[in-house]
Amino acid sequence: MPTSKIARLESDRLLAVIFEYMTKITVETDIEKMVMNLADLGKELVSADRCTVWLHEQSEKLLWTVGGHGVQKITIPDDSGLVGYTVRTGKELNIEDAYCDSRFNRTIDEETGYRTDSVLCIPFHNAEGSIIGAFQAINKLTETKIFTDHDLELLKIASNFAGKSLEAFILRNELVETQKEIITTMGEIGESRSQETGFHVKRVAKYSYLLACLSGIPESEALKFKYASPMHDIGKVAIPDSILLKPGKLTEDEFVLMKQHTTIGHNVFKKSKRELLQIASIIANEHHERWDGNGYPKGKKGEDIHIYGRITAVADVFDALGSDRVYKKAWPLEKITTYMAEERGKQFDPRLVDLFLDNLDQFIAIRDEFIDGSDV
């Protein structure tokens, strides 16, 4: 076969490998899985026995990896070994025999019983050009057992992609954390209007997450639901104090105004393209709907009510009944569970009530962890 055709086939294979891993990495939300995908990419590109992605914690002068082939999480000083040299100097390394290089740190080999021979080590950068880590490939799996200049160029591709991917991952996580913090703060503001504590939104969020997991919702989705849950009553910020803080029963007209907090909360978030705020919009709008169709704002019935609304209804009522409010004292647990059972198939999704009552001890544990007036 002509050399040009072999080269073309090799290029096609490499492109296929790169695109395969790019697809996996760009959608990954777990940093450990993401780093392992990056390590797998490097290993396959250069036919190495092992590959590790090291991250540089500059403020602490540490290098660490959450995983790699044959190793668990490792933390070393950033002036240690070949990877430390690469991160400090920004220089690429192609070492034929690590044990003949004075910069090589044998500690990990001695601890694991592994024998490092050939090594490739390449730094990767963020968008500003700062080194944020390094790619390290170990032991070439060919007859020569030596990495070539071509391998070095291929690992540069993986290294460049690693820098961009990890920086994007960090920024995306920071954005999500910021959204979560804003959501929780705004939820607490909404509760403070009705003289309730911030622990109410924390408890409802934890109850909702637990019930979502028990109901079979995947954990990744249940977590998003948990983060958005504190916004369930954000619409209360627009309800007059004369209604919100009234100690007695509301008049019919007052109750009409009170019910508007669901629609107000929905309208605040419905145009957002952020996933957490879209979920918050659904929760705010549907957590006062009833299984029997007698709820508000739209009188939805049964499974026409979004599962987020049905779960929040159980979590919110359980917490509200067990808390002091301006219009009532907290109910004892036995009275609450009796009410929840009586409202099975009426106010609440019957399956969710069964899950709640069958796992009551877990909900009580959450309640006891976040007691109003505590310093938790």
CB under 8 Å to 116, separation ≥6 — which residues?
98, 99, 104, 109, 138, 139
Rounded Cα–Cα distance for residues 83 and 30 (Å): 24
236 catalytic residue (yes or no):
yes
Question: Are 132 and 167 contacting, i.e. CB atoms less than 8 angstroms apart?
Answer: yes
Backbone angles phi, psi at 324, to 5 degrees: -70, 135
Question: Catalytic one among 180, 202, 226, 236?
Answer: 236
CB under 8 Å to 117, separation ≥6 — which residues?
96, 97, 98, 99, 138, 139, 145
Smallest CA-to-CA distance from 183 within 274, 112, 261, 271 is with: 274
Give the neighbor-by-neighbor strand order of the sheet with 131-140.
Answer: 74-77, 62-65, 48-57, 131-140, 119-125, 93-95
Question: Are 306 and 281 contacting, i.e. CB atoms less than 8 angstroms apart?
Answer: no
Element (H, E) at 277: helix 275-286
Rounded Cα–Cα distance for residues 120 and 347 (Å): 63
Annotated catalytic residues are: 236
